[in-house]
Amino acid sequence: MKKRLSLDEYYQGIVSQNRVVLGQAITLVESQHSEDASVAAALLDKILPHTGNALRIGITGVPGVGKSTFIETFGTYLTEASKKLAVLTIDPSSQLTQGSILGDKTRMESLSKNPRAFIRPSASGSVLGGVAYKTREAMLLCEASGFDVVLVETVGIGQSETAVKNMVDFFLLLMLAGAGDELQGIKKGIMEMADALVITKADGDNKTKASKAAAEYQHALHLFQPPASGWIPQVLTCSAFENTGIEKVWETIEQYADQTQTTGFWNTNRQQQNAVWFQECFQQLLTNDLSRFDGLQTTKENLEQQVINQKISSQQAARKLLNDYHNAIKSNQP
């Protein structure tokens, strides 16, 4: 049986930038075992003073946009600029094994061998919000291990984008040109969250289409309400295949960081994110605690069925479950 590391061994391994221990620590915080939860919480508390120094970037895009190819090229550019890069990918998960099924290390073969890069795929599981919760913890561990940039790649367009937006400094949306009506093919809410749009595969015969799409998107962004950051979202084009436009993407991210740090939005945004994370953690703990009581699970299922059949309002059902939860706690007190 593999020897479990002590709290201090985890801590020392992370701050000394030991990749093996970092991987083990991420596995610890992702663990569903109750005995790992207290160690994980203590570890995150201990490494907290070493976190917050990385630039956090979220990357999303429609399926087929080439996220992995872009990240490999972009990541290589960053490492050649002497940046230490961590890539946390949220993959669709197998319902049989709950494991990642796309295999990001295979899709980013070159970057995975780069000594200045660290790639960690996480299975999305059945609840996207839960994955974002674990991804956030993994991000903090990577920051404590000395990484300068942390990229978080999401599954695609959906709930995970909102969760990731709430944990990064800069949100990058990758788009394709010439794949139908661009402005109809993307949800307005996702575009409003983006700090920059990048039209990928801008090479060969597609270069003209990419430039046209970029102009259309830039015009569309001007119709949206200005973001709280005061930043004007940029639309760029790039080709990971030809390695063009990558430098401009990084320059744009650096400009955003400089501007928002100067205005104070950078710190304010991170503080608000911390508050959101706290609320999510508490909600998760409450949900887990509810599952301790077998009777409550049955009550919850019955109430849910009544709500579905419109026998009781959602509000009244929630109040009844909360009341039963309080009574369950009281009856289990010594």
In the predicted structure, residue 97 carries a pLDDT above the cut 60: no
Q: Which residue, 149, 146, 151, 200, is CA-closest to 177? A: 200
Instruction: Share the mean pLDDT of the chain.
Output: 86
Q: Which segments of 120-206 does DSSP mark as H helices, in order?
A: 128-144, 159-165, 188-193
Q: Which of 35, 50, 65 represents a domain boundary (last residue)?
A: 50
- 245 plus 319 within the same structural domain: no
The pLDDT of residue 183 is: 46
In the predicted structure, residue 115 carries a pLDDT above the cut 80: yes
- 135 plus 79 within the same structural domain: yes
The pLDDT of residue 33 is: 84
In the predicted structure, residue 119 carries a pLDDT above the cut 70: yes
- 78 plus 217 within the same structural domain: yes
In the predicted structure, residue 133 carries a pLDDT above the cut 70: no
The pLDDT of residue 98 is: 42
Judging by beta carbons within 10 Å of its beta carbon (0-12, 13-18, 19+), is residue 278 exposed, middle or buried? exposed
In the predicted structure, residue 305 carries a pLDDT above the cut 90: yes
The pLDDT of residue 121 is: 85
- Asked if residue 280 is part of any domain, the answer here is no
- 252 plus 318 within the same structural domain: no
- 83 plus 219 within the same structural domain: yes
- 199 plus 80 within the same structural domain: yes
Global pTM reads 0.88
Output the DSSP codes for 196-215: EEEE----GGGHHHHHHHHH
- 205 plus 325 within the same structural domain: no
261 pLDDT band (50/70/90 cuts)? very high
Q: What is the CATH number of the domain that holds 116?
A: 3.40.50.300
For residue 162, what are the domain limits?
A: 52-263
- Secondary structure percentages of the chain, helix, strand, coil, to 5: 55, 15, 30
- 19 plus 154 within the same structural domain: no
- 205 plus 309 within the same structural domain: no
127-156 CB burial, b ≥16 within 10 A, e <16: ebeebbbbbbbbbbbbbbbbbbbbbbbbbb
- 62 plus 205 within the same structural domain: yes
Mean pLDDT of 210-222: 86
- 26 plus 161 within the same structural domain: no
